[in-house]
Amino acid sequence: MKTIPSLVAIIALAISSSVVAKTTVIHAGELLAVPGDKPLKEQTVVIKDGKIINVVKGYAEATKFGKNAQLIDLSDRFVMPGLMDMHVHLQGELSPSNDSEALRMSNADVAMKSTMFANKVLHAGFTTVRDLGANPEEIFALRDAIDKGWVNGPRVIAAGSMVAATGGHGDVDGMKAELIEKYTPKTICDGPYDCRRATRHAIKYGADIIKITSTGGVLSDTNTGTGQQMTDDELVEIVETAHGLGRKVTSHAHAAAGINAALRAGVDSIEHGSYADEESIRLFKENGAYLVPTLLAGDTVVNLAKNSNFMSDAIKAKAIRVGADMIANFKRSYEAGVNIAFGTDSGVSKHGINAREAVLMANAGMRNSDILKSATVNAADLIDMSASLGTIESGKIADIVAYDESPLKNIEALLDVDFVMKDGKVHKQK
């Protein structure tokens, strides 16, 4: 007589089956396990439960690592760690429709659109990003939804709303008075103690990092220029408060005075750094701070200023001047040995074309190997995740991308990614 399994036994079997470790084996034709080192030929990467457990020489049989191990054949591909973009804005893209969208789109609409943009970025080969300015509630929800596996997207390190001076870059502008009052973020501040409050407020509501604006910006719809806007005592108070609460600080900065003031205050990175001077370079190297160059943003705004009519005269003038100057200043900083972390300011440019930054960096004289390192090893260091990201080594998270050509030989190979894995899950495979 056959016995019918009890419901408890069936449930136990289902649970035990669901927790069996999933093993994936990748055969990599050329493997850049540690950007900055030489790539290796014919390697096997073993992944279990989203983590890299081994990298072995030659093409090992998948069954060696478990009878149900899945083989992914990338023996004709160049394989490397997932790329990281240290400056994005996932909630939008610069366009003539921005004003109408601000009035017509609900916060829920913005959240849904940012989910779409996040998926584009992931499919472009970028498995981790820093979002450095967004509606806080929606970007933190997106970050958490991706982390929980509810939606697909890159790992997000999010700042929420920027800590900025009243009337400065990061504050609301270009609207009538009632709307300016309504949409002014609670992280706008005046004086050191108010900026302490704003920093604590951002962290209380979920900020992973504090983004400040020590200088004016190109896309602020005012003629306030790109010089220093936050005062030295405000900058010091923000950095000390953020560091005391375990958060790094990055500063949007164009003019040298604002770059240097932010670096003296102890910021961990500078975004743009358009007019870094000799003092800036000294401070970068002395503090170990990173430059996130965002050359793609500069290239984008110059083209839009020259070939479209939706920008105000104030924005056009700044775009043409600053955008054209960024490349020479980046080249000088790179040649002087400043730490560089890859970042695009996508949202100014379109999402999903993030790898074009690499082409601009190469055109400015940066070696391909250093570009790849800036988007992996350096980026991981900047976000304090070197123990888990940035290389393909045992114990690291399985964020892996592959190309049909070596970007060490041709940086434009990054523009067409063939394979994307994040946390051991395949999101794209040609």
Mean pLDDT value of segment 351-380: 98
Task: Assess whether pLDDT exceeds 90 at residue 178.
Answer: no
Q: What is the pLDDT of residues 56-79, one digit of tens each?
A: 999 999 999 999 999 999 999 999
Which of 48-52, 80-84, 173-177, 282-286 shows the lowest per-residue confidence on average (mean pLDDT)? 173-177
Mean pLDDT value of segment 387-392: 98
pLDDT bracket for residue 370 (50, 70, 90)? very high
Do 22 and 49 contact (CB within 8 A), yes or no? yes
pLDDT bracket for residue 12 (50, 70, 90)? very low
Task: Assess whether pLDDT exceeds 70 at residue 226.
Answer: no
Task: Assess whether pLDDT exceeds 50 at residue 95.
Answer: yes
Task: Assess whether pLDDT exceeds 70 at residue 21.
Answer: no
Percent of the chain with pLDDT over 90: 74
Return the top range by mean pLDDT from 92-101, 175-184, 234-243, 271-280.
234-243
Do 384 and 392 contact (CB within 8 A), yes or no? no
Return the sign of the alpha-carbon dihedral for residues 145, 148, 149, 154: positive
The predicted pLDDT at position 325 comes to 77
Q: What is the pLDDT of residues 290-343, one digit of tens each?
A: 999 999 988 887 666 566 675 566 665 655 666 677 888 899 999 999 999 999
The mean pLDDT value of the chain amounts to 89
pLDDT bracket for residue 1 (50, 70, 90)? very low
In the 3-class helix/strand/coil scheme, how is the chain assigned residue by residue? CCCCCCHHHHHHHHHHHHCCCCEEEEEEEEECCCECECCEEEEEEEEECCEEEEEEECCCCHHHHCCCCEEEEEEEEEEEECEEEEEECCCCCCCCCHHHHHHHCCHHHHHHHHHHHHHHHHHCCEEEEEECCCCHHHHHHHHHHHHHCCCCCCEEEECCCCEEECCCECECCCCCHHHHHHHCCCCEECCHHHHHHHHHHHHHCCCCEEEEECECCCCCCCCCCCCECCCHHHHHHHHHHHHHCCCEEEEEECCHHHHHHHHHHCCCEEEECCCCCHHHHHHHHHHCCEEECCHHHHHHHHHHHHHCCCCCHHHHHHHHHHHHHHHHHHHHHHHCCCEECCCCCECCECCCCCCHHHHHHHHCCCCHHHHHHHCCHHHHHHCCCCCCCCCCCCCCECCEEEECCCCCCCHHHHHCCCEEEECCEEEEEC
The predicted pLDDT at position 314 comes to 65
Which of 23-32, 244-253, 312-321 shows the lowest per-residue confidence on average (mean pLDDT)? 312-321
The predicted pLDDT at position 222 comes to 56
CA-based Rg of the chain, rounded to a whole angstrom?
23
The predicted pLDDT at position 3 comes to 44
Mean pLDDT value of segment 130-146: 97
Mean pLDDT value of segment 351-377: 97
Q: What is the pLDDT of residues 396-410, one digit of tens each?
A: 999 999 999 999 999
Global pTM?
0.91
**Distance, CA of 49 to chain centre:** 25
Task: Assess whether pLDDT exceeds 90 at residue 26.
Answer: yes
Mean pLDDT value of segment 244-250: 98
The predicted pLDDT at position 16 comes to 39
Q: CA–CA separation, 423 vs 425, rounded Å?
A: 6
Which of 69-83, 113-127, 185-199, 208-222 shows the lowest per-residue confidence on average (mean pLDDT)? 208-222
Task: Assess whether pLDDT exceeds 80 at residue 170.
Answer: no
